[in-house]
A = this chain, B = another copy of it.
């Protein structure tokens, strides 16, 4: 794809108020450093952990952020901005620093997944894109991790592209679900762009375009003997299974092996048992069963609990839009400006002030035990620090992990999260506390703010 770098394509993919606020900061000569903290305020139903994802995209955006002549001409046409400010925007680059959790990290509510420190205009302009990028991939990686957990090691494939919310989501869902353990995707462009393994079966339209189902099977098996998955529910699952077995035996005779049959409707647990028997009775015990159609972690768990001999699941729409929790309450809040820790007091929306670090402690058996959110500047409490510096002076300062490396990292971390927090329904809440330094500063800033703005003493 011949395309501009992210930040150049998307410098205007921001809320208008980022630009009007920037114009105010510019007008007031407010150029000092601001720190914004990105975090998720609460768990949606059934969530007990989050999987960090989307950092690479956010960093690429920051590195290439600039306003094109077309962008500036559009802004000028709105009549809102002075020539002086537009000329400033023309030269603006992101020059700040980013601390973040590496992609694939497990984190919890209220923990900063990313902190940006930069001259306030730069940090403010990036808000919209950064929330959008990190929250989508984190949303999907968290949902995908649940699906993999439910599948107990069986491979999952992302089939969601047709129903993701747009094309960008289609690509990001493929990436984020792979990061969180999926085997691959049906999305060919995601295969090309991210190097993901791609998989496919066949559609009902393919079957119905042939005069007979078995002919459709035979043509596919002849052309793609190495990757043949036969969709058997177009007319009737069991008759379809018998025809698939027949084609499977023909493949055997040619020295080939039918890979999978695919079930896409009906009572999958019951049907898969009958289909398994038909295949086994034909000596095709090596042919595996792939199930699709409305799967998510709950339906996977249900089919497996009912003893359905399904070997692999194609997971589509419900993972691809995170159907039971289609957004996170994700915020990017100013926590410090010009050396001064700041907070808002709005009802139910208090945020943790200043630059922070997360420290994680582990039990003797290696399992995660408890996190502490602390000030970045205070004496480190017990535990391993989780936020790492990824960018300084507007440039990425370290080699970013490859996607397979991040996937590996996720696996290693997920293995350390105790089962009670992984429950599909009503998981336990992982204990996260605040360091004494953060608690003190938090209450001091709250007092000062109330006194200053509300006249309370």
A321 within 8 A of B: yes
Of the candidates B13, B163, B266, the one whose C-beta lies within 8 Å of that of A132 is B163
> Do B334 and A80 have beta carbons less than 8 Å apart?
no
Instruction: Please pick, from B1, B36, B234, B346, the residue contacting A345 in the complex, using a CB distance under 8 A.
Output: B234
Residues A346 and B20 in contact, CB atoms below 8 Å apart:
no
Contact with B along A444-456 (1 / 0, CB 8 A): 0000011011100
Contact A334–B188 (Cβ < 8 Å): no
Interface string of A378-394 (1 = CB under 8 A from B): 00000000000000000
Say whether A106 faces chain B, with CB atoms less than 8 Å apart: no
Name A344's contact: one of B4, B200, B207, B220 (CB within 8 Å). B207
Query: Given the complex of chains A and B, what is the CA–CA distance between A305 and B356 in angstroms?
Result: 43
A159 at the interface (CB under 8 A from B): yes
Q: Which of A164-188 touch B at CB < 8 Å?
A: 164-172, 186-188
Are B36 and A205 closer than 8 Å at their CB atoms? yes
- Name A77-127 residues within 8 Å CB distance of B: 78, 80, 120, 124, 127
> In the complex where A208-B342, A323-B327 touch, is A162 in contact with B131 (Cβ < 8 A)?
yes
Interface residues of A in 22-75 (CB under 8 A from B): 23-25, 27-28, 30, 34, 36, 70-71, 74-75
- Assess whether B188 is in contact with A15, with CB atoms less than 8 Å apart: yes
Are B1's CB and A4's CB within 8 A? yes
Contact B206 A24 (CB under 8 A): yes
> Contacts of A233 on B, CB cut-off 8 Å?
346-347
Q: In the complex the two chains form, is A327's CB within 8 Å of B333's CB?
A: no
Q: B-facing mask of A198-242, CB < 8 A → 1, else 0?
A: 111111111111011100100110011001000001111001000
Q: Besides A19-B188, A132-B167, A235-B449, 12 other CB < 8 A contacts?
A: A1-B4, A12-B188, A12-B189, A15-B200, A131-B163, A165-B321, A165-B326, A204-B333, A209-B337, A234-B346, A265-B348, A266-B346
